[in-house]
């Protein structure tokens, strides 16, 4: 199978590439390396199992490389959810415009399938928790979430209009090795700078679901292997949640620190567009035969250990 992975040098993308290579796929990664790292792919580049095309999806010259592909895994995105509050136009272009360009390149070159990494933030502040895929109304409160929801709509339209198939994944918080952002990464770097005091955004009560990246990729590919509708939309996450103070405690313990003072910035959320409570219903995923092997706490513990090795 010939698979194209946009954003394949990034956190989730590179783990997906690992899994695709292990399955025997021929893999082309398209990445501008703005947040991804070539080093995440080195072992595959050296063995020539993967080809890396350094290109910006907002530019041209990459489209013809999709010819002959069986599926595009569209993972490329700006991972800075908070950035949308200060640079909404950039977030829009890198989410909505880029997705339309990928879809149009697929249409022109006859690529039949797209797998897209969306987000739990498309639901906004849901009144039903755990939140199912059919939840309405969809009212994102961040530019990031709005862009992902718009991209989902474009994907649905292209699939129904041009005979394509889509797999859309609304992720909880995905954590683990190679991540260069997120709450645990933030805490580790703050404590490296000052082991006595830890600033925590908001009131620390924000409570969310977390899933380790290898489990996420396994669920992702399970859906691609088994779902058969024209547009297949699935939540991916764990079936529990933990709060930010608990994560702080895990990081402090893993770093062997004691007597750390927590200082809260206040309010019920960490930034503009932050959703204070999030857990996804994964009944649809379980009905397809996949169950999360670990929960939020163990996912975060594994992530912290992996990040401390490189911090």
For residue 139, pLDDT over 90 is answered with: yes
Helix (H, G, I), strand (E, B) or coil at 48: coil
186 and 57 co-located in one domain:
no
Residue 282 lies in a domain: no
Residue 86 lies in a domain: yes
Looking at residue 9, which CATH number applies to its domain? 3.40.50.720
Residue 31 lies in a domain: yes
Question: Using CA atoms, how far apart are residues 206 and 310, in angstroms rounded to an integer?
Answer: 27
Please tell me the predicted confidence (pLDDT) of residue 189: 95
Looking at residue 181, which CATH number applies to its domain? 3.90.25.10
62 and 77 co-located in one domain:
yes
Residue 284 lies in a domain: no
155 or 310, greater pLDDT: 155
Half-sphere exposure of 19 (CA within 13 A, CB side): 19
CB–CB of 211/238 below 8 Å? yes
Answer whether the bond into residue 137 is a cis peptide, omega within 30°: yes
Query: 28-69, pLDDT tens digit by residue?
Result: 999 999 999 999 999 999 999 999 999 999 999 999 999 999
159 and 185 co-located in one domain:
no
Q: pLDDT tier at 310 (50, 70, 90 boundaries)?
A: confident
The pTM of this model reads 0.95
For residues 68-79, average pLDDT: 94
For residue 83, pLDDT over 90 is answered with: no
Please tell me the predicted confidence (pLDDT) of residue 164: 98
44 and 193 co-located in one domain:
no
Closest CA to 82 of 138, 126, 143: 143
228 and 85 co-located in one domain:
yes
For residues 181-188, average pLDDT: 94
Residue 158 lies in a domain: yes
For residues 116-121, average pLDDT: 97
> How many C-beta atoms surround the C-beta of residue 41 within 10 A?
25
How many structural domains compose the chain? 2
198 and 96 co-located in one domain:
no
Residue 32 lies in a domain: yes
CA distances from 192 to 80, 158, 186 (A): 21, 47, 10
CB–CB of 56/76 below 8 Å? no
Residue 283 lies in a domain: no
Computed over every residue of the chain, the mean pLDDT equals 96
67 and 103 co-located in one domain:
yes
Percent of the chain whose pLDDT exceeds 90: 93
Task: Give the pair of three-digit tokens for residue 274.
Answer: 């932050």
Please tell me the predicted confidence (pLDDT) of residue 146: 96
137 and 195 co-located in one domain:
no
Q: pLDDT tier at 84 (50, 70, 90 boundaries)?
A: low
Question: Using CA atoms, how far apart are residues 103 and 229, in angstroms rounded to an integer?
Answer: 18
121 and 252 co-located in one domain:
no
DSSP string, 56-80: -TTSSS-GGGGTT-SEEEE------
For residues 59-81, average pLDDT: 93
Question: Using CA atoms, how far apart are residues 35 and 181, in angstroms rounded to an integer?
Answer: 10
For residue 26, pLDDT over 60 is answered with: yes
57 and 126 co-located in one domain:
yes
86 and 185 co-located in one domain:
no
DSSP string, 121-182: GGG-S-SSSSBPTT-S----SSHHHHHHHHHHHHHHHHHHHHT-EEEEEEE-EEE-TT--SS
Please tell me the predicted confidence (pLDDT) of residue 82: 67
Q: Give the domain extent around 34.
A: 2-174+210-236
CA distances from 88 to 83, 102, 168 (A): 8, 20, 23
245 and 262 co-located in one domain:
yes
């Amino acid at each position: 199978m010939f698979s194209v992975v946009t954003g394949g040098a990034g956190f989730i993308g590179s783990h997906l590439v690992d899994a695709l290579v292990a399955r025997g796929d021929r893999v082309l990664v398209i990445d501008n390396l703005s947040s991804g790292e070539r080093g995440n792919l080195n072992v595959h580049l050296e063995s020539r199992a993967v080809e890396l095309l350094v290109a910006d999806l907002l530019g041209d010259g990459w489209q013809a490389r999709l010819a002959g592909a069986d599926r595009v895994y569209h993972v490329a995105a700006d991972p800075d959810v908070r950035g949308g509050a200060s640079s909404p136009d950039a977030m829009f272009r890198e989410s909505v415009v880029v997705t339309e360009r990928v879809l149009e390149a697929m249409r022109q070159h006859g690529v039949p399938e797209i797998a897209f990494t969306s987000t739990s933030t498309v639901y906004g502040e849901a009144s039903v928790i755990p939140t199912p895929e059919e939840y309405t109304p969809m009212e994102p409160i961040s530019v990031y979430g709005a862009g992902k929801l718009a991209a989902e709509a474009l994907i649905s339209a292209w699939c129904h209009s041009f005979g394509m198939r889509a797999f859309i994944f609304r992720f909880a918080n995905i954590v683990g090795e190679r991540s260069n952002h997120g709450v645990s990464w933030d805490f580790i770097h703050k404590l490296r700078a000052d082991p006595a005091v830890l600033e925590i955004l908001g009131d620390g009560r924000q409570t969310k679901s977390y899933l380790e990246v290898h489990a996420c990729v396994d669920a992702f590919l399970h859906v691609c292997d088994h779902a058969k509708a024209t547009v297949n939309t699935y939540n991916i996450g764990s079936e529990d949640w933990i709060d930010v103070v608990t994560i702080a405690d895990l990081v402090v313990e893993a770093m062997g620190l004691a007597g750390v003072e927590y200082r809260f910035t206040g309010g019920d959320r960490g930034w503009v567009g932050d959703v204070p409570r999030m857990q996804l219903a994964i009944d649809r995923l379980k009905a397809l035969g996949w169950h999360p092997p670990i929960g939020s706490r163990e996912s975060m513990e594994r992530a912290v250990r992996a990040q401390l090795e490189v911090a």
